[in-house]
Structure 1
Amino acid sequence: MEYIDLAERFVAAHFPNASIAVVGGSTARGERTRTSDVDLLVIGDAILPDGQIGAALTVDFEGEVFEVFAYSPMGFTEWAERSVAQHRPVIVHMLVEGVPVRGGDDLDDMRRRWSKTLDAGPEADEHELGFRRYVITDVLDDLRDASDPLERKVLAATVFERTAELMLLTAGKWIGTGKYLPRRLRALPSERVDALAEPYLRGDHDALADAVEHELLSAGGRVQVGFVR
């Protein structure tokens, strides 16, 4: 509750005309760490200068760091649709799952609309999935062939990330970057995730390559010769 009160003061000081304000991230989930900032989504008419429709800014306020995502209503729709197309709708998750600071009917209406989008899951067409399989096939071959230890570590990280995204998309789940990728993976069956994650964590690159081959097969197989990007 103290962070909601803090967010209310922040909005009053910096975005007094905002009609919607929602705290997201670890603060909303009650999972703050020592370095956590306060993720805040604000939406309203004329809350940004010079006709801007969207901005991301970092602000120090009362000893806390706020990571602010500020939009006009039109700007939110534009950026939300863009993030949905990229399968990483961060601001949509904030809107739907965060803790309201300001809201009312406007927030309720937006949540109803965008909840349907989140529930529907991402739409990745066959060409995109084929391209992702193509990239994984290429990186996987590089991993199997690499002998330099640093190259192998970098390639292992890349093929793990790309394969995790493919697993999520073929299961109709949203993807994420950084710490959000493993959090998204936990929506999948644990034995499937462990088969990929455990060899990666222990640095067993050969076993990781085998796990990636298995996931490629599950998604339709390797893609290489003849694929048009």
Structure 2
Amino acid sequence: MTIRDSAVHAAKKFIEQYFPVAEVVFLAGSIVRGEATESSDLDIIVFDGSLDHSYRKSFVEFGWPIEVFVHSFHTYKDFFKENRDRARPSLPQMCAEGIILKDNGRAASIKNEALALLKRGPLPWKSKEVDSARYEITNLLDDLEGSTNPAEDLFTVSRLAAKIHEFVLRVNGCWIGEGKWIVRALKEFNEEFAECFVSIFDEYYKTRQKHRVIGFADNVLKPYGGRLFEGYSIGKSRPKE
């Protein structure tokens, strides 16, 4: 039995025991994508029309760690909207890629809704959001350039990597990632850029040399006006009396 077959078998037994009245069930995650490792878990999305709320719960059953995301046929729509607003499509991605384990006839429509949302992409950034990101990256670059504390630099660079990834993907109308999904999201956008991104930050963590990180960030900002500090404002200044 393959890992995938074993996972499907375990997931079905799990649903029978814990969610026997579930109407639609998807199995998603690394198992489905063929990317399973020794630490992979089962991501199971459960739809139960009798619920008026959603919740998430972790189990260890049938030899697998299992994460269950439980929704009604209304709450998942709120999560789809929230995922689009924050540009991280975790639930739509799971529904789109998931294997159908149980279906009352609504699984296909949920999948199609998820696929359409993924294709549509996140809400586009407005100029104020671009400027806000430029300002934050500028502050991080200023901190890095002026720092003489290598321990602090580790965390400044980590934050800078996350913000650069977000900036590049959002200004290009793409979904962003978190954790290991940062590199995956960048690769989906542009393989060459992703390789450059990884190379530059990998070199920094090996050598602690800042110049390539700083130059890379400046090149990312350049088409959008470069660094931003002077004149940047949030809210509205009170008039002088």
Q: Could you say which residue in structure 2 is the equivalent of 1:208?
A: 213
What residue number does 1:93 align with? 93
> What is the aligned-residue identity percentage?
24
Consecutive unaligned residues in structure 2, runs of 5 or more: 235-241
The structural deviation recorded for 1:7 is 0.8
Q: Per-residue CA shift, 1:91-137, capped at 9, x if unaligned?
A: 11000112211235301111222211110111122222221121111
Structure-1 residue corresponding to 2:59: 59
In structure 1, the residue matched to 2:162 is: 161
Partner residue in 1 for 2:182: 181
Give yes or no for the alignment of 1:227 onto 2:214: no
Query: Aligned in 2, Cα 1:191/1:218: closer, same or farther, shift over 3 Å?
Result: farther
1:41 has 2:42 as partner:
no
Which stretch has the larger CA shift, 128-137 or 147-156? Answer: 128-137
- Whole-angstrom distance in 1 between the partners of 2:225 and 2:45: 39
TM-score where L is the length of structure 1: 0.92
Equivalent residue pairs, number: 225
The question of whether the paired residues in 2 share the 8 Å contact of 1:121 and 1:172 is answered with: yes
CA RMSD of aligned residues (A): 1.5
CA distance in 1, matches of 2:8, 2:26: 9
Where structure 1 has 5 or more consecutive residues not aligned to the other structure, the ranges are: none
SS at match of 1:57: strand
**Deviation string for 1:141-198 (max 9, x for gaps)?**
1111111111111111110110011111122211111101111111133332333321
Higher RCO structure, 1 or 2 (CA under 8 Å, sep 6+): 1
Q: Is residue 199 of structure 2 the alignment partner of residue 194 of structure 1?
A: no
Identify the range of structure 1 (125-134 vs 72-81) with the bigger mean alpha-carbon deviation: 125-134
Give how far 1:215 is off.
0.4
Q: Distance in 2 between matches of 1:130 and 1:14?
A: 48
- The offset of 1:199, in angstroms, is 1.9
Shift of 1:13: 1.1
Q: Give SS of 1:21's match.
A: strand
Distance 2:105 2:228 in 1: 49
Q: Contact 1:195/1:211 (CA < 8 Å) preserved in 2?
A: no
| TM-score, structure 2 as length reference | 0.88
Greater Rg by CA: 2
Deviation, 1:77, is 0.9
- Code of the residue aligned with 1:207 in structure 2: it is R
